[in-house]
Structure 1
């Protein structure tokens, strides 16, 4: 039966949605935050297992062609569910220490994840819009958890207003594309596409909406304020799972809707935006003294690196983007997790870089793990961040976009300064005052150790002459 096939093809998303509804009902009637957390954790574990299983299944479309399954959508589902699961586990201890834990928070995370999974599997402009809004509205709520503080209220307001503005562009673009082609399905649009001003204008506005979601320059203005004002573990969640969903949707739009010869010139537009994003993100990150704002501008720069793979427009480029998203999820959630551990101490503001002076010797294990994550973000071998950058830059070179790859390498080299600056403060400067750090919970500590180990392992494993994660990605069909 078709409806059984449809349900099975989007089962991870359905499991997460049902878990989210259950979490909200428990919050409403039982008022047990611990139970909500356990239910959310169990639902995400099941969804992650189902997402991993879908990697090795067949590919196709369901829900009357509105959803794709298998291939890039399947791998995107793994990244999203894994990123949410890791963020959820790290969030509980952190939110409790800040007095922000509630069942609604876990419910909003699950609803946002449902939207992300739908976004990463969209094969139709309608499903793309509905999924994007489901994700965005939930993230607006999470960004405003610190509403009692000025920067918390500011982050939510800016995110909402600018998000609504970008949604207008996206929706108007959808209307123009439909007017030009008479279709909303990606493959049907590709078959009916032409070079009329109506169609080109619609695609341009659609891309503006997607550029906003991935924090590409010049649509990045919301990112530093939102990252700074959102609770740290949730910032890591937004920066990884949310970005992964938007980039997988971008891959599906480019490979399925804009892959024809008449519409293939969009790679030049993406190349220009990628160059601006890499340069602006890194230059402004160099001047930041707030660690969360530094990571926000770093996130913008990483969006630029990812766009290099999109600009290549080849299977190797798209595979490199997917691998990079996986790598970015590991190292970025790990970095925000260590910062969240430090922030539990109320004697100092551990978002300012001065407070990291001498911190590497306070809890040596945390200092070492933060160093691993920052080295990886900088793209230094043998960490997973280096491999991810290698794949996207190599794809650009293979697509005769050598200058784009050179700009990416130079921008990545410049980023080493602000990542190493944190480590200089940690190990080569003396602390300004005496303070004590609370010991993290066992699960919190083990999860960070696991992320550090995976950051090193996947930096080495793909370059060995064995079947690795990248080989799985190259087997996907992108059309």
Structure 2
């Protein structure tokens, strides 16, 4: 690779490198900060992410391959880059009070969030299965450590250990899938895979490799039956980390699924083999996720199973193999980012007075002691359930419309029915807040200015995407157009 090509590649990946360098700067800066000046870690992180967001938006345009065709910069990657940076910004805002309250090393924490975000971004830009594997491992290692950040708590360490062990197995399976695909086709470049498969170059070995890739990525999405890690890890990890993990790795996994299966294995003959598998995964994920959430006694664990169910809704659109389905996935991931991070932000605030397991009783009478906080939580519960005029309603509408348009009527019906089931456990949260008396010691909760900013952004995002869904959907449709060109 000559100097000009290297500079072009570096410029194309400027957003990724900016986030990575910002994480390294925070690690170095933290060595010289006093306890009173630790807030500078957050400031540096937010400035770096804002700069990376601007650089990502500037990459919008014609697709181009960089770094020996290992990475690609196109509208699809730009959309995901912006989404990942948004998730990281909201996570930093969510974590500001949490880090101080829990006396966590802020430099280490924010650096890990940024390193994981770097992994997300390289997943979206991966044009080669090997690059995709390295990006997934980058984000996985960072999230393993984040899950066990409460080193003095057995639940947190147990969550990190389970996540690491099962994650290692899924990574090995995914890598074996890459090796199998290489053995069947002779290369790992996604564009070359598409060209070879389009010529009808199929074999049992190739289909076996594709199956292994589904298993590896299914773990990252927490799709049933690869979801076993999610409830315990989400419940045991610090709440701010759970919020980050519920949105970031899930969106990254769907970016990988779109790259690999829409772009690499989108040929009609191969798609006819994996689409029914995805349909079964979608149905199982929606059913088990929602039914399991009904029986939970912890709001945090309930939201963990809810996250599994929402992965199932996005899987419905993945089955459709058309532009509306692909665009609705992008829309749904952004909508879920606002809804999920907003709900977890409320959990971090209430946890100041409640216990860390987030029992429903911690929220008894919240409408009496903290009416604004209860109203905000109510909005997020309605949005996650899919009530209009929220982003959750618009997201589910587009997903199920894509399924109906493609003839997956049964899948759409299952999605609607499971959404009705979800209403019961989301409404239960609202009932506890408004119809039960406050517990002992119930008093107004002080919300920091940073947390108020986060709640304001997530509320506005949830409402804007519900009332004016067209702008984000149109952007998503332009981003996925290259997959069908």
Normalising by structure 1, we get a TM-score of 0.96
**Unaligned stretches of 5+ residues in structure 2:** none
Q: What is the aligned counterpart of 2:279 among 268, 271, 275?
A: 271
Residue 306 in structure 1 maps to residue 311 in structure 2:
no
Residue 78 in structure 1 maps to residue 82 in structure 2:
yes
Q: What is the aligned counterpart of 1:353 among 357, 360, 363?
A: 360
Offset at residue 192 of structure 1 (A): 2.3
CA distance in 2, matches of 1:222, 1:349: 19
Number of equivalences: 473
Offset at residue 57 of structure 1 (A): 2.5
Offset at residue 37 of structure 1 (A): 2.2
Alignment of 1:211-250 (within 5 A): 211-250=218-257
Residue 115 in structure 1 maps to residue 115 in structure 2:
no
Give deviations 1:50-94, integer Å, cap 9, x for gaps: 22333x432232222221222221111111000110111110111
Q: Counterpart of 2:382? A: 375
Alignment of 1:80-119 (within 5 A): 80-119=84-123
Offset at residue 262 of structure 1 (A): 2.6
What SS does the aligned partner of 2:72 have? strand
Give deviations 1:219-268, integer Å, cap 9, x for gaps: 00110111111111121111112211111111111121111123112111
CA distance in 2, matches of 1:251, 1:171: 18
Q: Counterpart of 1:39? A: 44
Alignment of 1:163-178 (within 5 A): 163-178=167-182
What SS does the aligned partner of 1:68 have? strand
Q: Counterpart of 2:53? A: 48
CA distance in 1, matches of 2:461, 2:112: 28
Offset at residue 22 of structure 1 (A): 1.1
**Unaligned stretches of 5+ residues in structure 1:** none
CA distance in 2, matches of 1:61, 1:381: 41
> Bigger CA drift: 190-199 or 321-330?
190-199
What SS does the aligned partner of 2:404 have? helix
Q: What is the aligned counterpart of 1:342 among 321, 336, 350?
A: 350
Q: What is the aligned counterpart of 2:454 among 429, 447, 454?
A: 447
Instruction: Work out whether residues 315 and 478 of structure 1, in 8 Å CA contact, stay in contact via their aligned partners in 2.
Output: no
What SS does the aligned partner of 2:468 have? helix
Instruction: Work out whether residues 115 and 134 of structure 1, in 8 Å CA contact, stay in contact via their aligned partners in 2.
Output: yes
What SS does the aligned partner of 2:252 have? helix
Instruction: Work out whether residues 255 and 478 of structure 1, in 8 Å CA contact, stay in contact via their aligned partners in 2.
Output: no
Instruction: Work out whether residues 350 and 362 of structure 2, in 8 Å CA contact, stay in contact via their aligned partners in 1.
Output: no
Q: Counterpart of 2:12? A: 9
Offset at residue 30 of structure 1 (A): 4.8
Give deviations 1:404-423, integer Å, cap 9, x for gaps: 11111111111011001000
Q: What is the aligned counterpart of 1:145 among 140, 143, 149?
A: 149
Instruction: Work out whether residues 319 and 473 of structure 1, in 8 Å CA contact, stay in contact via their aligned partners in 2.
Output: yes
Instruction: Work out whether residues 235 and 357 of structure 2, in 8 Å CA contact, stay in contact via their aligned partners in 1.
Output: no
Tell me how large the CA RMSD over aligned residues is: 1.4
Q: Counterpart of 1:258? A: 265
Q: Counterpart of 2:326? A: 318
Instruction: Work out whether residues 26 and 44 of structure 2, in 8 Å CA contact, stay in contact via their aligned partners in 1.
Output: yes
CA distance in 2, matches of 1:365, 1:89: 19
CA distance in 2, matches of 1:437, 1:139: 33
What SS does the aligned partner of 1:475 have? helix
Offset at residue 437 of structure 1 (A): 4.4
Q: Counterpart of 1:432? A: 439
